[in-house]
Amino acid sequence: MSIIYSPEEGLITLRTKNTVYQMKADEIGTLLHTWYGEDTGEEDLSYAIHRMNRGFSGNPHEKGMTDRSYSFDQLPLETATFGAGDYRTAAIMVRHEDGSRALRLRFSGCRICPGKYTLPDLPASVEDKDDKAETLIVTMEDPEGGVKAELFYGVFPEKDVITRALRLTNTGRGEKRILKAAPLSLDFITGEYDLISFNGKWAKERVPERQALRCGVQSFGSVRGASSHHHNPSAILCEPSATEDKGKCWGISFVYSGEFLFEAERDMIGQTRLVLGIHPDDFEWVLQPGESFTSPEVLLTYSSEGFSGISRQFHDFIRKNIVRGYWRDRPRPILINNWEATYFYFTGEKLIEIASTAKDLGIEMLVMDDGWFGDRNSDYNALGDWEPNEEKLGMTLHELGARLEDLGMRFGIWFEPETISEDSDLFRAHPDWAIAVPGRAPDLSRSELLLDMSRRDVQDYIIEKMSAVIEEGRASYVKWDFNRSMCDKFTHALPAGRQGEMAHRFVLGTYRVLESLLTRFPELLIEGCSGGGGRFDCGMLYYTPQIWCSDNTDPVERLTIQYGTSFIYPVNTMGAHVSASPNHQTGRTTPMETRSAVAMSGTFGYELDPNRLSEEEKEEIRRGIRVFSELRELIHGGDYYRLTRPDDTGCTVFEEAAKDGKKALVTAVYDHVRANPAPVYVCLHGLKEEKNYRLRLIPGHVQKGRNNPADEAYREGQTIRGSSLMKRGIYIPQYTKEYQSWQILIEEEE
């Protein structure tokens, strides 16, 4: 069993293949957190908790007269509550009917269940066929306060992942208001730590930032209605000496797409607390007697093998236990999107023209982007009017879909379901459906407003309209966009005293629409998008197995974006396209083979007009598609290794290695050209030390007329032992032009 409970000692131990997570209920019902990290066996680790009277750290009434060393202010707690003697960051805060906020939860029991728990109306990790997951539900109660808390733990022993969720129930007679509900509360009694967060902005998402924890609270989060471009709801805690391949690290990721807050506090005696949950700034949930509130889920994993170990464990788990449904294990179609090819200015015939050429190049799907509906020829109007503009297209949507099908192409279509234009038939019919504070002119972003997704009638409208379009066009793919942050929060569907529920109910409404569409169209592939990567999180990946990584399609810029994303999320979730050159966001000119190499480390598609390309460029597209098709299983299913950091050496290098160690692909992109550069060497990973491997440059990356003997050796297919490749490493060929890229295939010799 992966969960062991000893009632006599009050000890609960969660075990995975390489880790132990332990908690203990003490003599007065305080649930102590004793350990989370490498496997220590089943010993009671509470012996390491040191108590002493530190002054100004209050004592619970049961202990105060006899033991002034016992204080919630310094004990490592399994969940932290507000107002009852723990002055550190709280995970749970409740306002009682009398206005007080003190909450003291005591352990009252636990139960162990086979399989993995589910969460009503929320995304949550699921069991894969080979998993032997178990669930622990710990019950804690505050009898005087009339609150019960249930702490949910899902244990995936083979994947070294533990999940956490929280349910709060009003067991009293009066109304309760939940002011903060964080499913993660994790205490460390000792140690110096660094925190890695993934921050950014539109077109520069998820850039890793590492900083040492200092005394006090460090935090990041989002109050934008979505997880945001600016701060991803994931983090890595690590010891200061941790590197890519060595050191103790804890990975944390929130399975939620809305507003969140991550807090890390280092207290006066060097203890560290992590708290992650829904952002409390604009959250307040009302519970009447007998009602419950369930939080979203948090994923936890630990590795002593550095950031790379965390990444591999998260990648495997997200691929198999977060992503689900028809497309989880299937090769996804190589698509071409018309946005950067035409923007709003296209007809059905223009799309057929793009699709016909794309089919000849080996592309499998055409995606019709923004501009196909209503009176939509700019981003100023018509959002919400999801009726095909047959006059603009010059044909019906059914005819367009049928003609693409006759070409042997799949059909995909763009929606922005959660938004509405003031200049739209929908707004004129239902102005109360738009989020806005009554009596105030609303804030506009991209000339649009948000629909009130907390309302059931709004959700039903979107489900009906999207379903009709998908059926008419026989679409097999939807690009789901979300292009603005939330503000002016107000819903006509709730009274004044419950407006704090609106932002969370908005997210629940989005999840309901997504689940309804996937139930109706189980083979539909939905790609998430939010102005690019503004809602890239495990909550969306539960419904959309891939997410547009960024609106920035410049391959050199994408190196940093995809590098940061890879710390938590696997390659096959990252929407990545080959776009036109010069690039539309930066004006940079890059070789076609470099654009292909970078996009291959993603879902792989195109964002250009193939009819404007030279024959040489078209042939490079054919070559790129052949290479990707041959190596797709390795790229999307292998272990990912970051071999250099962007900008460190002027050459970004990463590797995808097969799980069985028989094959690996090394991709190197020179992101900065220097005169007389130092040679770039990298050590490989994931190979078999005792085996010999043949190295060769992928065709298309071989440059004719070169005289460097080291580069010639790649062309001739040199053979090197696995131990040497991993310990001594390989030399990356130098560049002959700006933004040169290389792809090196390493294959085990039979």
Q: Are strands 605-607 and 577-579 parallel, antiparallel or unpaired?
A: parallel
**Domain residue ranges in the chain:** 3-322, 335-431+447-491+510-637, 651-748
Q: Which of 649, 661, 730 is nearest to 697 (CA)?
A: 730
Question: What is the helix (H) or strand (E) element at residue 508, kind and residue range?
Answer: helix 502-520
Cα–Cα distance, 274 to 195 (Å, whole number): 10
CATH of domain 3-322: 2.70.98.60
Burial class (CB in 10 A: 0-12, 13-18, 19+), 657: buried
Burial class (CB in 10 A: 0-12, 13-18, 19+), 80: buried
For the chain, how many residues are written? 750
DSSP 3-state assignment of 36? strand
266-323 confidence digits (pLDDT tens): 999 999 999 999 999 999 999 999 999 999 999 999 999 999 999 999 999 999 999 9
Cα–Cα distance, 257 to 239 (Å, whole number): 29
Asked if the 335-431+447-491+510-637 domain carries CATH number 3.40.47.10, the reply is: no
Beta bridge partners of 141: 106, 148
CATH of domain 651-748: 2.60.40.1180
Q: Are strands 477-480 and 410-415 parallel, antiparallel or unpaired?
A: parallel
CB atoms under 10 Å from CB of 720, counted, come to 18
pLDDT at 225: 98
Whether 537 sits among the annotated catalytic residues: the reply is yes
Straight-line distance from the first to the last Cα atom of the chain, in angstroms, rounded to the nearest whole number? 40
* Spatial CB neighbours of 442, under 8 Å, sequence gap ≥ 6: 434, 435, 436, 449, 488
Active site residue: 617, 738, 747, 748, which one? 617
pTM higher than the cut 0.75: yes
Burial class (CB in 10 A: 0-12, 13-18, 19+), 429: exposed
Cα angle 684, 689, 694 (rounded to 5 degrees) comes to 65
Q: Which of 575, 569, 564, 503 is nearest to 538 (CA)?
A: 569
For residue 349, give both structure tokens: 């015939």
pLDDT at 263: 98
Q: Are strands 546-548 and 574-575 parallel, antiparallel or unpaired?
A: parallel
Q: Are strands 741-748 and 663-670 parallel, antiparallel or unpaired?
A: antiparallel
Task: Yes or no: say if 273 and 186 are a contact pair by the CB < 8 Å rule.
Answer: yes
Cα angle 606, 610, 616 (rounded to 5 degrees) comes to 105
Q: Which of 439, 441, 444, 440 is nearest to 421 (CA)?
A: 444
529-557 confidence digits (pLDDT tens): 999 999 999 999 999 999 999 999 999 99
pLDDT at 702: 56
Cα–Cα distance, 562 to 570 (Å, whole number): 10
3-state secondary structure string across 655-718: EEECCCCCEEEEEEEECCCCCCCCCEEECCCCCCCCCEEEEEECCCCCCCCCCCHHHHHHHHCC
For residue 214, give both structure tokens: 């200092």
pLDDT at 23: 98
Q: Is the CA virtual torsion 51, 56, 57, 61 positive or negative?
A: positive
Q: Which of 567, 583, 575, 564 is nearest to 529 (CA)?
A: 575
Cα–Cα distance, 658 to 172 (Å, whole number): 56
Q: List phi, psi (to 5°) of 105.
A: -90, 135
**Residues of the chain below pLDDT 50:** 704-707
For tokens 């002119």, the residue is 441
Cα angle 148, 500, 173 (rounded to 5 degrees) comes to 35
Active site residue: 305, 452, 537, 656, which one? 537
pLDDT at 713: 59
